[in-house]
Every structure is written in C-alpha cells, then in structure tokens.
Structure 1
Amino acid sequence: MHVLFSLLILSFQFVPQVFDSLEQVAQSSYLKADYSASLSATLEARDLADSLGLLEKKLTYSYRIADIYRATETFGESIRIINENLPATRQLKNKSLLARFHNLRAAVYYEKMNKNHPGARDSMEMAIRDAESVIRTSGSESDRSRFLVLKGAFLNKTGRWDGAVASYEEAIDLYHKLGFHTDLPNIFLNLYEPLAALNRHREALDYLLSGIQIADSAGILVYQKDTAFKISLAYEALGDLASALAWQRTYHSLQVKFFNLQLDNQLNQIRAVYDLKQKEAENHLLTARLDQQRVYNWSVGIILVLGFLAGTILLIAYREKSRAEKTLRQQKRELETVSQQFYDTSIQLTISGDELKQRAEQLHATNQVKDRLFSIIAHDLRGPVNSLQAALLLLQEEDLSSGERQELMTELNNMARATSDLLNNLLYWASSQMKGFSVTPEVIDLSGLVQQNVHLALPAAQQKGIILMDQFPPGLLARADQAMVNLVIRNLITNAIKFTPNGGLVITGGSVLPGEVRLYIRDTGIGMKPEDIDKILTGKVVQSTYGTKNEKGVGLGLILCREFISANGGTFSIESEAGKGTTFTITLPASADRH
C-alpha cells in the first residue's frame, strides 16, 4: 500500500511538467504552421486533462483545437468543437473563456463568408450578436477589443461603412489603453477601406501615416509595405499625385526588401533542415555502431558466464557421483569383511539385519539423488543453453534492425537470469541431498529480509507492470538460519512475480503468533494444480513450467523452501486456486529478543 501511494504521489508531481512540454510543442508548431504536430500535442494535453478531471484545462485545450481547425480551414469540425464545449464553459462561469469561444465562432463564420460558403453571412450575423451579448458582460477589455476588430471587418465586408468605422475606432481606443501598440498598424490598414468608401480620405491618411511610424519603430516590415501602398492610394484620392508617386516608390522598395527577407528566411530554413538531417544521420550511424559493439560484448560475456556455470555444475555432479561410487565400493568391501568375520567369529561379532538394510537403502537413495540430478540437468539446462546458442547465432546476422537486436538482448538477459536461478537451486538441492543440511540458528530481522528482497525484485515486477506491495510489519524477529530464510523469501517472491500476469499484484505480509512468527506471500497469478502442491509438500520434484511471459521455472525452488523451513523448525504451506492466485505461508520460531 505504501509503495502504491508513493507511485501515485510521484506521478502527480510530474503532471505540470507534462502539460508544459505539450504546450511548448503545440505553440512552437503552430507558429511554424506545422498544424498537424500542433493538433497532435494539443489533443494529447486535452485527453490528459480530461482523465485527471481538470475541466478548465480541458476546455482551454478544446478552444485551441478549434482554432487549429480554423487555421486549416476545417470549418465544420471547428464549429462542432465550439458548440460542443460552450455549455460546459457557461456552467464553469469562466467569462473570459466563454468570450473567446464566441469570438472564435464569429471568426470561423467570417472566414467562411470570405470563401463564399452558402449561408455563412447569416450565421456570421447571428454569431456577432451572440458574441457581443456575452462580451458586454465578461468585463474583459482584451476580449472586447478583439471582438470589435472582427465586428468592424464584418460590417466593412457587408458595406456598412459607418458601423465599421465606429467599431474600428472603439477598438483603437482600447488597444491604446491596453498597450497593444504593435497591433495598431493592422487596424489602421483595415480602417482605410470604410473611410475611403465614405470619402474621408484625409482621416484615412492620418491613420495610415501614424501606422507606418509604429510599424517602422517596431520593425514590422509587412505592415510597412502594405501601409505604404495604402498611403499612395490616399494621396492619389486627395489629388496629391507627387506624394502618391513617392509613396509608390517607397512601397516598391519595401516590397523588394520584404521579398529578400522572405527568401533569406526560406534559405535559412532549408539550411537548418539540411544540417538537422545530416546530424540525425551521423547520430543514427554512431548509435548503430554502439549497439553492435554492445551486442558483441553482451554475447561474449554471456557465453563466458554460461560456460563457467555449466562447467561448475558438471564438475560438482561428477565429484558427487565419484564420491558415491567410492562410498559404495568401500561399503561393499566393509560388508565383505564383516561377512567374513561373522563367518569366522559368529560368537564375537553380529551385524543386525536392520543395519544392513538401512545401509542398502542409503546407497539406493544416493543413487536416486544422482539419477534425479542428472535428469534435471539434462532436461532443464540443455533447453536454455540451446536457446542461448540459437539467439547468439541470430545476433551474428548483420541485417537485424536496432529494435530486433534490443528485443533479442532482452530475451538473452531473461534466459541468462533463468539459467542462473536454475543453477543456484540445483547447487543448493544437490548439496542438501548429498551432505544434508547445516543449520546455524541466530536472531534474524525478518522484516529487514523481506524489505531487502522486495527491493531487489522491484525491477522485475515493474517490467511486467506488477504492483509489489510490502505490508510486512516492522520489527519482527525470528530465530533461524539467515542464509536459508533469505533464499526462501527470494524464491517465493521471484516465483510469485514469474507466475503473475501483467498488471497483477504481489503482497508480502506477516504477524506474530504465540511462540512463532508468521510470513505470507500472496499473488494474483495463474495458481497451481493440486497434484503439484502435493508433490512439493512430499518432497517430489515437479516438472518445470513457464511463467506468464515465458520465464523458465524449475520444480526445485519450492522443494528447497519447504526443506529449509522444516530444517529451521518451521512450517510451510500452500493455498492456491486456479486463475485467482496462490498464497505461500511459512512460520518460524520467534526470538525472545526485542528491538
């Protein structure tokens, strides 16, 4: 539970950073007219806000999405999104956002009217009325200034010159008040047409001359160029042909300058794209070489490790076999000597029939252990080694992609880990069967051991999306062999993760009972068959199985757990239901010591 809570807190800490990143991508792409990338980032931000229940953010991103559709002339989709989000915006009582939605709807209809869409003028008329009604009560001068410019453009487009002039001039006053000086030249340009239609050329000229001064101070070349052209028209209408000609020359000079600037920008963009592509190609080549070297190093390392492990296990098996055969020959000689002595001195020496039978059974058990050991090695070790050889042969292929090599490297890592677990369990089991257990009881911190093994298993759990929840209470002490108990806990947690599907849950917990300490490990995995549980609890080797992601398993791990817990004076039990999960429960003698 603590682990899950920590993960939730950590994820919420990164949410603002995710929004900032998406907004930067959307804004920079919009300014570059890369509307596809801008739309993709904004849609992702809106969906994230929706999943987190952030209504105001969701509505803000919906507004931006509708504006992107307007910019790409997908007018129907833009209107649909606006109408879909207006009721929620009204309910939220965000007047500024509501005003922006109405302004945007009017802007969409205005652009449709410019492109002669049927019915666009009537829709624009209605949208202007709705927007004016909302903006009148919104209290935002910025929203009202943008609306007035849009309204002036509509009135100008429909030949209502006086209304257009009044709307533009009211917008100009607001722009001055708000400090939006660099946007004034554009309004002055739009104001020229209705003033000229009303034969108010001198007023139009005054506005244009003021606008070109602002554009020149701000360095906005496009406004300078367009304003110079309109100034020449105004002088021509006033009959000052000399001034009109002078401003026509100024217009042509600015037009050439503007064209050269655009050409330079295009050349710089082409050069930047070329440099970027060249850099990407170099990075791709370097990455491919590094991946190839990394794969080679991993391959050599895995081969060496597997060779060493295989040689070690075979050497141990050979030594145990030789020791058993030597013991058998020695006991056979001793038996022959005893038989001869019994025959010669039947009164002085007797050997009980039960003792002879016991020795024979021990010899038979030793041979059975040897046969079982070689059977497991032949069945479980041959498969992984063959799979590793096949995977390494694939790595030598030069036409594998980087993704295929990475996938193959992950598979090699899983094979090596599974083979290592197999060899460790074989060594422990073979040693226990041949030489018996050597238990060294001591006071151990059971809580610390559980926490340590949960931490070690966390990467494997995260790889499968499994929640590993540690509910084991702190400060529980037991009296047992620490190495044995540590191996048991590690085997049980690893086994739970291995047989739990993606998105499952593994829980560790425990309690104190009279004279003993209880530990359980519960999972939501695939469960166990009753016959396999019986074999484990009776010490029989279970056939190897595969985990939910084809992780190799071996039947020795759980048998070792049962035998180690039993050797430490504890109990080992299994409860399982197919398709619902398994619970392993162990008890150990409690320690009299306390923290």
Structure 2
Amino acid sequence: MRVRRFLYLGYTCTLLFLVRPAFSAPANADSLLLALKRHALRDTTRVKLLNQLGRAYFNRDADLVAAYAKEAMHLSDSLHYEEGSIRAARNLALVENSKGNLDKQMDMTLGALRLAEKAGLLHLAGILNNDIGNILIEQNNPAEALRYLKKSLFIKKRFHEQPEIAKSLNNIGSCYMQLEQLDSALCYLEASEEVKLRLHDQQGLGFTYENMGLIYIKRGMYQVALKYLQQSQEHFRTADYPPGLGKSWLNLAKVNTLLQHYVVAEQQLAEAARINASMKNARNEMIYYHYLAQLDSSRHNYIAALEHYNHFTDLKEKYFAVEKAKFIANTREKYESEKKQRENQLLKIEQHAHLSTIHQQRILMGVCALLLAILFVITIMLYRMYKRQQELYRQLNSKNEEVSSQNSIITAQNVTLGNLNQVKDKIFSVISHDLRSPLSILEGMLFLLRDKKMPTAQFQVFTDELWRDMKNTAYMMDNLLNWASSQMKGIRVKADDFEFTAIFKREFELLQALSRQKEVHLTHQFQQPVLVYADADMIKVVLRNLINNAIKFTPAGRGVHISGQVRNGFLEVCVQDHGIGIPERDQHKVFSNIYYSTPGTQHEKGCGLGLPLSRDFVELNNGRIWFQSRQGVGTSFYFTIPLAEEEGEPQEYPRVIQAGVTMDN
C-alpha cells in the first residue's frame, strides 16, 4: 500500500513537472535580448523587456531569470510602476519553483496577488490565482487549488483571453482527476480541448489528451486511453516538446502493458529511456523502472521484475533523500526569517507602546488645559450674566413688556440649547464613566510598572485584558464621534460603487485579533467579489459594530459566522453569533434612541450608540436592518446594501464528481 501511494505521488509530481514550458527558450528570446541592449533608457519599456526575458529564459537559466527580475523590480520601484514590480515578483517566485521551494514560491505569489488586487490589476490577479492553484496541486492539495483556479477562470473569461482560459480549464480538470472525480475532470478537459483546437495549441492539446488518457486508464477503458495517449504524443511531437514526448512513451508503455501488448510496451519503454538519457529527469527515471518491473511481472519474468523494482526503490530513496534535504533547508531558512520578523515586530510593538503612552499624556494635558480654559470662559460669562441680571432687576418695573418679549426669545433658544445639552451630556457621560474607567486602570498599571512596584512578568498577565478594554474603548470612541457628528453637523452620504468583499476582509482581519484574544471562533463565507453602491466608510462602521457586538456577547469557545447572499438587487449580510442573546423585554430598545447598553460576556462596556448609528447608516444607504434573537441561543443581525448597476450574479461552475494532475502555467 505504501509503494502504491508513493507511486501515485511520484506520478502526480511528474505530470505537474511536465506542464512547465519547454526547456529551450522561445524563438524570440534573442530578439528580446537585442532589443534590451539597444534600449538604454531606464523607463517602463525596459522593465517590460526585462520581465519578458525572464519568462523566455525561465527553463534555461534560473540565475539569469532571477537577475532580470531583480533589475526589473528595482527599476519599477524607482518609477512607481506597480505592474512591473508585480510581474518581476512573479518571475522570482517561479525561480523558487524551479528550485523546489514551493513554500517560498507560495509566499511570494500571495504577496504579488495582494499587490495586484490593491492596484486593481484584475488581469494580473487572474494569472496569479492560476499560479497559486498550480502550487497547491504540486503540494497535493487539489481541493484548495480549485478555489484559486476557478477564480482565475472567472477573471480570464471577463477579458476573453482564450489561451489563458484553456490553461485554467485544463488545470481545473487536473484537480478533479487528482480528487478521483473523473466525470467532472472530463467535463473541463473537453472544454479545454475545444478552445485549444480553435487556437491550434499543439503543446496544450498534448497535455489535455494526456489527462484524458490517464482518466480512461483509471476507468479500465484501455483502448480509449490508448487512442488519447497516441493523440497526445502526436501533438507533443508536432510542438517539438521533448519532456512531453518522454512522458508520452511511458504512458503508452503502461497502457500497452495493461492491454498485454508486451513487445510494443518494451519498445516504447526503450524510447522513453532514450529521451530521458538526455533530459536527466529523476522522476521519469523512477517511473521507467517501475513500469519496466510491471512489464516483466506481466510476462512472468519475476527475477527481472524484482531486479528492476529494486532499482526503482533505490532511485526513490535517493530522490526523496534529496527532496528531504531541500525541505529541511527551506524549513530552516523560513524559521530564521520568521524569527527575525517576530523580533522586529516585538521591537515595533514596544516602541509603539512608548509612543502611545507619550501621546496619551499629551492628550491628557491638552484636555486639562482645555477644560481650564472653558471653565475660565464660563466664569467670565456667568459674572457678566450676573451683572446684567442686576441691571435688569433695576429696570424691571419700567421694562416689563420688553422683558416679556425677551423671555419668548429665550424660551425658543432654550429648546435648541436643550437638544445640544443632550448631546453634550451624553458625550460627557461616556467620557466620565465608560472611557475614564479603562484609562484609569491602564494609568494605574503603568504607574506600578514604571515605579517597579509590579514585575514585568506580572504585568504581562494583565496585557490581554488591558488590550481588550482599550480596543473596546476605541470602538466606543469611534461610535461616539460618529454619533456626535451626526447629531450636531448632520450626515452627508458619499455613495459610490465599491467592492464589498475586499472592504469586509480588511475589517474581518482587524477584528480577528480581538476574537482570538477572547477565544471566539470568527468565520465567514465571503470569497467572490461583490460590487455594491453605498458609502464605503458608513458600511465599514456598520460591519465593525455588528461583528464587534457579536464577539462581545459570545462566550469563549463559541463562534461568530458572517455570511451573505445576493437577492432582488441587494446584498444581504448576516452576522450570526451563538452568544447570550437579547431578552425579549429589551428587544424594542435595540434600535431606539434610549441608548440601550449591557456589558459583554467578559464585562466589556459599550455606550449604546453602535446599533442606532448602524441603523441610521444602513437606512441612509437605501438598505434596511433587522435582527432575530433567542436568549441563551444567540442573535442574528441582517442588513442589506444595494448592488451596483453593473453587478451580476456570480458565475456558476459545474457540480463536480471526480478529477486530477497535469496543469498549464
């Protein structure tokens, strides 16, 4: 069983290896090199030439590709040319692939993808998603690879790039074949075949027919498999692609062995050995001796079969010894890099803490000075009012009518001042009760630490709780400022089209630290981009309030899940928690102006403004908000946002059954 498992893995890796471009550089490599020598200007044209040369020499000289990519990245950074930097980063990542450093390639490709999405370079994002899918297949993770490959296919279809679409279809079929979902694999491979036939893509057709042949071998339909594998060999021969020819001889030998055409199989294995002698492919050499052992066993030549199988076992051990050494070296390098990053991060956190303390002290001094100034002004005003009142009393008998008129004016002004006083009272109430308490605790802890009355180790015990209190205080302050601004200045909605999933993920990542610190499982299902029409800043506040509230009222060990669906021209978002729920007697207060607030499961405080503010923001953006809650079971908050006019339903992919291995770069 172990041997079969190993052979399957080796077989899979070989197929993936063969998907890469031919070892010889493209015919236009020399012309590109000549153009680069003639172009002395350090501009974006030179960057493009460097990146194209890197792709042209990819399988010829990895060191030369790395040199071109580094020069392109340095020049792109100086020119602020984002597309050039991203393409150079992709070439460096592919160099790591050629060295077998898949983890390092994955990190670099993910970084390039984030830059492309941030810069709005959708075309590059499609290519990079395809690269990530290929890496995951090589890491034997086809289920995760499907997500990236289908996203890549969706983007490429928007740009109508037929060659790239054909590659993605082939790679998706390879994933399903690796997952043993053969019907789905054939569905995508046949779609890839149709596109490649229109494009006369000989090498691409070789990969597709090879996969089809392997599927029919799995199904036991050897005659059909033989037909497809012969077609694959013909296309590889037409494309002058030696790696494909070498692998096709091995596949044909396998299927002819199964068909008991032993003489033909022996000749085909000899051809495979001849090609591999010049290519020096360790994986193909292992497969050659394995298939030769199978052929000898089928002919009942068990002595030769044992000899060839032992040779295969020796090659396998040598190959995996090399792979293991590479893995250990890569792991050590990654560990050292992460260690340095952690040390740098700790230094930054410490520096930030010092700066934050100084900043808070300055703010406190400024607030005190401002309060003193306000008190002085109020005292002067009260004194002047007193003097004026004395004057009015002396003239009271002669000016009753004038006083009556002035009283009417003062009454009207009092109504306005009363409304403003409610805002002021709420602000001072929150500052004096809800904000002052965590700041006082932090001040006391810092005082004890500074005077060395508390050991640093003991202080670390309280840092998580202090951090959570300060984070809740920060969210409370944001809500307070937004509410005060809406009450005193009014709200202006700045609606525009924006991509909801990207904004949601940024807010989600910010709140993950808070959920982990509280041991609440925070999950979501947003993957596909959704274009909506609303004020992005307001929607951020709504997301932050609803998710923060869910974490606040969810005990440790339980979960919060955010989901969404497109319905009737709106995106409906649901924030569901498994927390303590809202008592039925208090549910009418949630969106009212009573400013209803209760402490969280770990005594987190709030000012009662978040949900009324969220209601106002959602309704101002032509949406609606509601909730469902059962005490002790949990609460689900829903709100809707209008979709942008051009936003359509996401593309549906065929429901899968089975699949597998070879992919296009």
TM range (shorter): 0.3 to 0.5
When normalised by structure 1's length, the TM-score is: 0.42
Greater C-alpha radius of gyration:
1
Tell me which of the two structures has the higher relative contact order, counting C-alpha pairs closer than 8 angstroms and 6 or more residues apart: 2
TM-score by length of 2: 0.38
